[in-house]
Amino acid sequence: MRIVASVRRDFETLGAAGFALGLLFLGVVISRYRFDFAPLRPQAEHFTLAFALLVLAFLLFQKRARLVFQPSDVLLGAYLALALMSSILFPEQPRASVQYWLRMATSVAVYFLVRWLLTATDVRTAFRLAVKALLIFGVLEALFGIVSWFLYPFGVNLGVDEYPLGIRGPGGIVCNFSLTMYGTLWEPNAFGGALMTVILIGATLFVSNEFAVWRKALGSALVVMLMALALNGSRAALATLVFGLALIVLFAQGMGLREKLKWGAAALAVIVVVAVPSLEIARGLMQMPSAPGFAARAPCAAWIAQGMPLTVSPGAPEYSDPTGPGSDISVVNRFMEGQTLTSRWVSYKLAWDEFLQRPLFGNGADSFGQRFTTTAHTPGWISNMLLMSLHDTGIVGTLLLSTWLLWYARQIFGAWRRAHASALRVMVFALGVGLIALLITYQATTMMWFGLVWWYFAMLEQGAHFTKA
């Protein structure tokens, strides 16, 4: 295949630095896998990070790489220092907060490692390889997610959650739910956000004239990823996908407006065609004896037939007819389900109240989950990126992080605007659209402190700088 040959040539050109960058990317996209037998339960990301550090040290020793700093790095350093101080001084469980701070620091370390490794190799080739890697990852992750979705009812769980719809039945049984997968990533919203970003990158290249020769391959890849996103059903990712497609229709150069609208409508049609029947298919498959929880759900049919009397435990959330177990249109159930939205609103209110108690420096990294739990009895989580920053690091920390993000956006946009028309400029625009959409998604379900996000930050930044040069 041409894409395989192209990737192989890129790795041959990039040498040791390219191999380290590729391995680091692999580590950040399989971040959910832990090695429980090892101390501190490290993830694959940590091993690849250590390997990349060794490669960087070797390249520095040979004077082939450089540790290049820029003024904005002071903002990141100050933010992490403030987050560490707050994590030590204020939480109920400082050790747990410091452990989460280490995740934040590790993610930012990925950003610096990518930047420094790129000083030892050809940035243009590395950036092209990064775009190819994202597209290949998107297709493979989508295929893995689809396979996982269909295998789950047979008792094989490769990364699938049951998303409850409406009230729970007798004894707290989940009687009505949809299936949503998370693949190799942390959870379903992380899967949806990552896939949405790669779809927007592929869609931008698809409409451009510079990548017309790849249009068939890109179209096939987009269909697979759209199908997986429809099965995943992340509302934040789907809503932001529509916004991202609108940006592409309005600002991406290449196809005419009418043709872009046609393909955009086709993309949305793929999602609808897959999403509408998928929930009924899942419901049917989950009636098989091999399905997880099949025996426990035996009382559900009789309970629903009796009109769903409120026999659940006190304090169970209420449901409305349009989204309850007895409603008829499953796709409406999934996208109008209010329990998650209500839960998030409650968590936002609690997080805001805690922020007001320590407005300057916050309450410490991930301290919210030490005091509050979700309706699923898991540690509480603030799904909004801005509110999480305010809660954890206060006004001072949020100003530092926001200033860094604004500086970053200014650098990328300035470099893209001044660059001449080229395939590299199109790729910078594609990754820029993807990043804008991802950050918008993070206002509803944030995964800011994951290595993949900071690998993305570094690659886009260096690609944009090279485009300007």
Ordered DSSP codes for 160-183? EEEEE-S---GGG---SEEEEE-T
Q: Quick one: which of 227, 275, 206 has its CA closest to 426?
A: 206
297: confidence class by pLDDT, cuts 50, 70, 90: low
Residue 36: is its pLDDT beyond 80? no
Q: What is the pLDDT of residue 162?
A: 77
Residue 320: is its pLDDT beyond 60? no
324: confidence class by pLDDT, cuts 50, 70, 90: very low
Q: Scanning the structure block, which residue is given the tokens 């040979």?
A: 62
Q: Quick one: which of 70, 51, 27, 72 has its CA closest to 117?
A: 51
CA distance 228 to 218: 15
pLDDT tens readout for residues 185-243 = 888 888 999 999 999 999 999 999 989 888 999 999 999 999 999 988 888 899 999 99
Which two structure tokens, joined as six digits, stand for 387?
């509110």
Q: Quick one: which of 207, 219, 221, 196 has its CA closest to 250?
A: 207
Q: For the stretch 160-191, what's the b/e string if a residue is b when 16 or more beta carbons lie within 10 angstroms of its beta carbon?
A: bbbbbbbbbbbeebbbbbbbbbbbbbbbbbbb
CA distance 159 to 165: 19
Q: What is the pLDDT of residue 316?
A: 45
Which two structure tokens, joined as six digits, stand for 180?
């949503």
What letter represents residue 271's amino acid?
I
- Give the mean model confidence (pLDDT) for residues 272-280: 82
Which two structure tokens, joined as six digits, stand for 287?
């009636």
Q: Give residue 192's Cα distance to chain centre.
A: 6
Which two structure tokens, joined as six digits, stand for 65?
């790489």
Tell whether the torsion through CA atoms of 42, 47, 50 and 56 is positive or negative.
negative
pLDDT tens readout for residues 89-109 = 998 899 999 999 998 999 999
Lowest-confidence pick of 3-12, 282-291, 315-324, 340-349? 315-324
Other CB atoms within a 10 A radius of the CB of residue 414 amount to: 12
379 strand-pairing partners: 373
Other CB atoms within a 10 A radius of the CB of residue 376 amount to: 9
Lowest-confidence pick of 143-157, 288-302, 406-420, 455-469? 288-302
Angle, helices 235-251 vs 423-441, to 10°: value is 150
- Which burial class, exposed, middle or buried, applies to 382 when counting CB atoms under 10 A from its CB (0-12, 13-18, 19+)? buried
1: confidence class by pLDDT, cuts 50, 70, 90: low
Residue 427: is its pLDDT beyond 90? yes
Separation in Å, CA 154 to CA 3, 151, 157, 165, 373: 34, 5, 9, 21, 31
178 strand-pairing partners: 163
CA distance 181 to 157: 10
